[in-house]
Structure 1
């Protein structure tokens, strides 16, 4: 439960991330917080939820257990808040706040910090990614929201959270999957490994293979092999000339080499968007960049303009 002290390895891992955001003392056992204004109790009615909270669903059984614990022992670890309007805005500790309200507490032990919106978002990501397991799509949506809100790159976000760039990039790509597959991910009918494996397929093949994964209980490795077979089967050996002249010989389609696929992935990472390279000839082709909203378009355009 949240009130229990975390095991040492998890605590060290979390501490590296949060200490970089809040200052080393902020992750300690009450020695004081970087930017601390106050260490006291605050009326629960004055605290509003964190708008940057990536977690959308809370386990009700765990919340009930935490509520019972708080009724007996109180809130053992203060929540983190920042001044906001006439009250406060939650930074970290939403489960504790919800459980404390359910337990009937009017006053909540709190630490008051001065944080910017960007720091708030990073702390929320750190606490949820490192201390509790978020749904993989909730993680991806939180990453995407951060990139769009603060106009930064995948590399910058990964560095801020002490994650590999590929980890962030692969998670973001899951948002491109059809809603049916996303629903299967949320309900644990598919794993993130299965979902990542089918990303290179067309939507039709993605849906068919995901059904097969569940029907045949395919492992991630067998899924990856099935994807390779589908890609090979769907790659045409020749494409006709566009003139419609049947007397001209067929032209061999350019192969998507490992280098081209690697460049495609690099572009996806750099732009934080779905990118597809389509080859037409040995030295020609096109690059397709997908955007979902006008804000997303402006972010991608700004990134390209800065590079130019």
Structure 2
């Protein structure tokens, strides 16, 4: 994977994976307030994609930076493909963190349909049981 840390201009971020996330206004406000008080505490995680940086983790940091008129953010840039990026969305947002059940379902559904991955493969790739994957997909 060979990640590297770079300072990325806000306008260079690609937010196309945001469609798989639910934006909770309260959590955006918390991140915004934290960034206003303390600055950026964690890097955004992204991959290079079509000359931009597709955000995998850190959407709220990017939204907050835009609002606060912060011009650059620290970013951990990963050399991975789209399927790996979607799997990392689940990994970075394990239970007890910031991902809603419906968001997990949308990512799994997209992987199943767009990347020709079976439920068994999703289980292996995500580290969750096949039952967990099946239960999430049954919500659709």
Band of TM-score, shorter chain: 0.7 to 0.9
Q: Secondary structure at the match of 1:77?
A: coil
2:5 is aligned to 39
Q: Greater CA radius of gyration, 1 or 2? A: 1
The answer as to 2:36 corresponding to 1:71 is yes
Deviation of the 1:96 alpha carbon: 1.2
Deviation of the 1:167 alpha carbon: 1.3
Q: Pairwise mapping of residues 1-308 of structure 1 onto structure 2 (< 5 A)?
A: 34-36=1-3, 38-51=4-17, 54-55=20-21, 57-130=22-95, 131-134=97-100, 136-175=101-140
1:246 is aligned to none
Instruction: Using CA pairs under 8 Å that are at least 6 residues apart, name the structure with larger relative contact order, 1 or 2.
Output: 2
Bigger strand fraction: 2
Q: Secondary structure at the match of 1:58?
A: coil
1:15 is aligned to none
Instruction: Determine if contact 2:47/2:85 at 8 Å carries over to the other structure.
Output: no
Instruction: Determine if contact 2:18/2:59 at 8 Å carries over to the other structure.
Output: no
Query: Any stretches of 5+ residues in structure 1 without a counterpart?
Result: 1-33, 176-308
Instruction: Determine if contact 1:68/1:103 at 8 Å carries over to the other structure.
Output: no
1:193 is aligned to none
Instruction: Determine if contact 1:144/1:172 at 8 Å carries over to the other structure.
Output: yes
RMSD: 1.8
Q: Secondary structure at the match of 1:51?
A: helix
Residues 94, 141 of structure 1: alpha-carbon distance in 2 compared, 3 angstrom cutoff: same
Instruction: Give the distance between the partners of 2:23 and 2:18, measured in 1 at CA.
Output: 15
Would you say how many aligned residue pairs link Structure 1 and Structure 2? 139
